[in-house]
Amino acid sequence: MPPPELMIFLVLAGLILIGSPIAIALAMGGVVGIVMGLPAPMLGTLGTNTYNAIAKYPLVAIPLFVLTGTVFERTGVAANLVRFARALVGQRPGGLAAVATIVCLIMGGMSGSGPADAAAVAMVMVPSMTRAGYPRAFSATVIAASASTAILIPPSVALILYSILVPGVDLRALFAAGLFPGLMAGLAVVIPAIWLARRHGFELGDEVEGRPPVKESFIGALPALFAPVLILGGLRSGLFTPTEAAVVAVAYGVFVGMVVYRTLTWRGLYRAIADSAVLSAVILLIISLAGIFAWAGSTLGAFDAVAGAFLAVSDTGWVVLLLVMLLLLVAGMVLDGVSIYLILIPILMPVVQAFSWNVTWFGILMAMTIAIGQFTPPVAVNLMVTAKVAEVPMEATVGWAAWMVLAMTAALLLVIVFPGTALWLPEVLGYRV
């Protein structure tokens, strides 16, 4: 029989492989570890650890930012942003691919969720790109890759969770640190997308829509463009905390939808709240039951043992870091960002401390690597969403996705080699990194 510290990982991996919900897999892994390795009275800690995992005030920001993204999605913001981006980019080979990336970057500054970003933009962009001559598989891949930047662009739900799980991390610094790498990741999608569009002659047919007027489209998109400014500006000025920023973002989204655009009805608002509640409940349930896994793993010494295995591979930081990034990439291909953070942060933090890596910088590396995994077949969260919208099989996107993966990996390597690409902005703003 394997030792308890190994059994918690075997049970977790086995349940995930057979399709068990991640929350149940985390809880059962922890329970098995407690039963096998600790005295029977320790089972009484299950309720306490479940409660303590979510009894954290900053977690209030997660359901609120989820609601913000849902409200903006239901108001038709994506269509207005697409119109404005098309006015800026104009009609040229690869133009609509660039538009999709720009819109995903802006939407990421509202929703903080890659799948939500991908769904909203795909619904608007895939029909337009198809009429312009883009293959549906190509369109789905570009949008999925662009939407993956939502995990980096503030307000990212994953970065909020990272700041809660890692002591001493300033969420404002983390948001600022993710901004420039997020833009780099977006650029890493645009460059191969435009090159492929020119090479294959996309967007040259008679069905390409005309260029909208810049002034008119800017006015239409202005309420949406102001949302990231409101959130980040309020945080920078100290006017409100990240949790309060989430409340302001929700109120602003409802105002834009019901008063400015007038596309959000009371019934639509109710549905947005209900859908956001369901998604938030799933996220918080995972976090709650992960408390059992985290407590069992730390008490049994399982996390220290795995960290020790990483450190035993090499005493060279770059070698270990590349192994960690490979692990995160594989995890990003099969799991969502929240689950990855909950499972791997307790394991990876001892490694980070052993090599004295900057925790803010490492948090951005985690997010960027997971972002790549979110559109890397065969199991990619964002790509599953856009492929479904585009009505294409996942395997049809593999050839296109390879180019985006290579380009974003190059951007990741730049952030690894030059940590200042992530840390310079929070340092300039005076945040503790």
pLDDT tens, position by position, for the chain (433 residues)?
Answer: 678 888 888 898 898 888 888 889 889 988 888 888 777 777 777 888 888 888 888 888 888 888 888 888 788 777 788 888 878 877 777 788 888 888 888 887 776 677 777 887 888 888 888 888 889 999 999 999 998 888 888 888 888 889 988 988 888 899 899 999 999 999 999 999 989 988 888 865 444 556 777 788 888 888 888 888 888 888 777 788 888 888 888 898 899 889 888 888 899 999 989 988 988 888 888 889 888 888 888 888 888 888 888 888 888 889 999 999 998 888 888 777 788 888 889 889 999 999 999 999 999 999 999 999 888 876 677 888 888 888 888 888 888 999 999 999 999 999 999 999 999 999 998 888 7
pLDDT at 206: 42
Given a contact cutoff of 8 angstroms between Cβ atoms, the answer to whether 151 and 374 are in contact is: yes
Domain assignment present for 259: yes
Domain assignment present for 36: no
Q: Distance (Å, rounded) from C-alpha 350 to C-alpha 347?
A: 7
Given a contact cutoff of 8 angstroms between Cβ atoms, the answer to whether 405 and 375 are in contact is: yes
Q: Distance (Å, rounded) from C-alpha 262 to C-alpha 51?
A: 40
Task: Give tens-digit pLDDT for 357-407.
Answer: 999 999 999 999 999 988 887 667 788 888 888 888 888 888 899 999 999
Provide the domain count of the chain.
1
- Write the CA distances from 405 to 92, 251, 255, 330, 378, integer angstroms: 24, 37, 38, 13, 13
Domain assignment present for 385: yes
Q: Distance (Å, rounded) from C-alpha 169 to C-alpha 48?
A: 25
Given a contact cutoff of 8 angstroms between Cβ atoms, the answer to whether 137 and 390 are in contact is: yes
Domain assignment present for 163: yes
Domain assignment present for 412: yes
Domain assignment present for 327: yes
Which residues have CB under 8 Å from 120's CB, separation 6+? 72, 73, 77, 78, 107, 111
Domain assignment present for 43: no
pLDDT at 90: 72
Given a contact cutoff of 8 angstroms between Cβ atoms, the answer to whether 137 and 397 are in contact is: yes
pLDDT at 207: 46
Given a contact cutoff of 8 angstroms between Cβ atoms, the answer to whether 159 and 363 are in contact is: yes
Which residues have CB under 8 Å from 74's CB, separation 6+? 257, 263, 264, 268, 271, 272
Given a contact cutoff of 8 angstroms between Cβ atoms, the answer to whether 328 and 347 are in contact is: no
Cα 83–Cα 208–Cα 218 angle in degrees, nearest 5: 15
Domain assignment present for 207: yes
Domain that holds residue 271: 57-428
